[in-house]
Amino acid sequence: MTMDDGALERAAFVPEPGSYRDGSAQVFYVGQRVLRGLDKAAAAEWEEFKVTQFFSQSQQDGRLVRTRELAGTEAGQLDAPLQRWPKILEHERVPFISYPYEWSFSMLRDAALLHLDLLEEALHEGFTTKDGTAFNVQWMGVRPVFLDIVSFERYRPGAPWAGYRQFCQLFLFPLMLRAYRKVPFQPWLRGHLDGVSPDDFRKLLSWRDCFRVGVLQHVLLHALLERNVSETSQSTQARLSRTGLGKAELALDIVRSTVRHLRKTVQRLKFNAVSTSWTGYVQDNSYSVADRELKARFVQSTVTEIKPALTWDLGCNTGEYSRLCADVGGYVIAIDADVSCIDRLYLALRAEGRTNILPLVGDLADSSPNMGWRGRERKGLVERGRPDLCLCLALLHHLVISHSLPMEEVLQWLAELRCPLVLEFVDREDPLATRLLHGRQDGCPEYSRQNFERGLRQLFDIEQCAELTDSHRTLYRVRPRA
């Protein structure tokens, strides 16, 4: 995190491609620093917002991203295109950007509750949020942080909450989808960046779901009103003002009740984790005690030597090796395709109070792509920051055997990360590998240690190698050739 009071380095400014929707402000990067330019109207809102007790309190407890205003002299050092903004803020840098379609159920739920808590507290001091999107929240480890400072604006008497629909589409309905229908929400959020509409979500519910908490008001009647009210939002707002909402206190009470009702509904949504082959992986795997210790020492010595600022643990499962890396230092992205594993890991890390491990749902065979407007609004995994070290432990056989990915291409992809790797190769004789191979009619002949090592030597220098003698597995520490 860089938020020095010193002079800004003369680095090129890069506008954030995803920061275009709210025209009153623009996020851009100067070197490692994150800046936000505010137009005249947003600057006026900021002047009022920054002196509230709510702002200073949420800055102290870290729920709102740490923010400071650039002094005139500092702003004067910026490139000419940035000078057009009357006010420039600097934000604490989030170690790794993630998106709601990469979060587990409990992560999305905690992000939703943070949003509602902040909104309720802001309302007490006469502020509201102009939107309700899940993309406003990011993570410092397992601590959710609200990023969009300009989302806070002075509450205008008589107005309902403009962010209600977004909140439902990007927080509430995805959570209900998982809690009530046991359907993972991640593919739905990845499929549509605006989330699940009330009318689409209504169609996914069974008659039994109609009696569940929050469904009648937030889904069924919400969808019914959307389908049947054809007038514009402005006309609806004007008519509501005429029919009673014009009274400032009354409208504010209604917004507060809405927030309370949403919170109560979100709090009652439960994950109901299902046991998968991955949640019991640690108990079911074939490691002896000696092999586990050897593996841990191998990883630890690598991390201690390399001292990575950012580590990716691909196929992290319980996060055993993510913790090991985090203990040495740096920030760890723990990625696994299994949503139950990631939810358990998130809850465990939250209980441990860890601040330097971010668990994410991700399938390497179908990883987050560049998407949104011009394919730049939301970025793929690699585009958000390459790691300094990547752990790929007992993962390759799943990618090659189960997902039928060509081994050469998997190694090529890993080499393109341009960082040292710790790889674990599982022999065909390993009980878990054998089980996977039974599912392949062709027997997956390309999956052999000989082929693996040949491919490895073409792309990497092998720096260290250790055989796990009891379990048909070998560890490699490799570095891609320049």
Q: Which residues bind other proteins (CB under 8 A)?
A: 21-24, 130-131, 153, 156, 158-166, 168, 198, 217-218, 221-245, 250, 253-255, 257-258, 261-262
Which tokens belong to 293?
């210790």
User: Nearer to other proteins by C-beta: 73 or 228?
Assistant: 228
- What's the closest the beta carbon of residue 267 comes to other proteins, in angstroms? 15
HSE at residue 83, side-chain half, CA atoms within 13 A, is 6
SS3 195: coil
User: Nearer to other proteins by C-beta: 159 or 382?
Assistant: 159
- What's the closest the beta carbon of residue 195 comes to other proteins, in angstroms? 12
Contact 172, 266 (CB under 8 A): yes
Torsion of CA 163, 165, 171, 174, to 10 degrees: -170
- What's the closest the beta carbon of residue 85 comes to other proteins, in angstroms? 17
What secondary structure, in 3-state letters, does 66-133 show? CEEECCHHHHHCCCHHHHHCCEEEEECCCCCCCCHHHCCHHHHHHHHHHHHHHHHHHHHCCEEECCCC
User: Nearer to other proteins by C-beta: 214 or 315?
Assistant: 214
- What's the closest the beta carbon of residue 271 comes to other proteins, in angstroms? 24
Other CB atoms closer than 10 Å to residue 16's CB: what's the count? 16
- What's the closest the beta carbon of residue 64 comes to other proteins, in angstroms? 19
User: Nearer to other proteins by C-beta: 73 or 234?
Assistant: 234
- What's the closest the beta carbon of residue 8 comes to other proteins, in angstroms? 28
HSE at residue 139, side-chain half, CA atoms within 13 A, is 32
User: Nearer to other proteins by C-beta: 40 or 457?
Assistant: 40
Residues 35 and 21: their CA atoms lie apart, in Å, by 17
- What's the closest the beta carbon of residue 92 comes to other proteins, in angstroms? 24
- What's the closest the beta carbon of residue 43 comes to other proteins, in angstroms? 16
User: Nearer to other proteins by C-beta: 39 or 74?
Assistant: 39
Residues 407 and 392: their CA atoms lie apart, in Å, by 13
- What's the closest the beta carbon of residue 246 comes to other proteins, in angstroms? 10
- What's the closest the beta carbon of residue 145 comes to other proteins, in angstroms? 22
Residues 232 and 209: their CA atoms lie apart, in Å, by 30
User: Nearer to other proteins by C-beta: 230 or 450?
Assistant: 230
Contact 241, 213 (CB under 8 A): no
User: Nearer to other proteins by C-beta: 166 or 279?
Assistant: 166
Contact 92, 35 (CB under 8 A): no
Contact 184, 101 (CB under 8 A): no
String of b and e for 301-320 (b: at least 16 CB within 10 Å)? ebbeebebebbbbbbbbbbb
User: Nearer to other proteins by C-beta: 23 or 445?
Assistant: 23
String of b and e for 107-133 (b: at least 16 CB within 10 Å)? bbbbbbbbbbebbbbbbebebbbbbbb
User: Nearer to other proteins by C-beta: 160 or 372?
Assistant: 160
User: Nearer to other proteins by C-beta: 262 or 332?
Assistant: 262
Considering only CA atoms, give the Rg of the chain.
25
- What's the closest the beta carbon of residue 136 comes to other proteins, in angstroms? 13
User: Nearer to other proteins by C-beta: 200 or 467?
Assistant: 200
Other CB atoms closer than 10 Å to residue 87's CB: what's the count? 18
- What's the closest the beta carbon of residue 344 comes to other proteins, in angstroms? 32
- What's the closest the beta carbon of residue 310 comes to other proteins, in angstroms? 33
Residues 43 and 217: their CA atoms lie apart, in Å, by 37
Strand partners, 85: none
Among the listed residues 310, 334, 325, the one whose alpha carbon sits nearest the alpha carbon of residue 384: 310
User: Nearer to other proteins by C-beta: 28 or 346?
Assistant: 28
Contact 92, 1 (CB under 8 A): yes
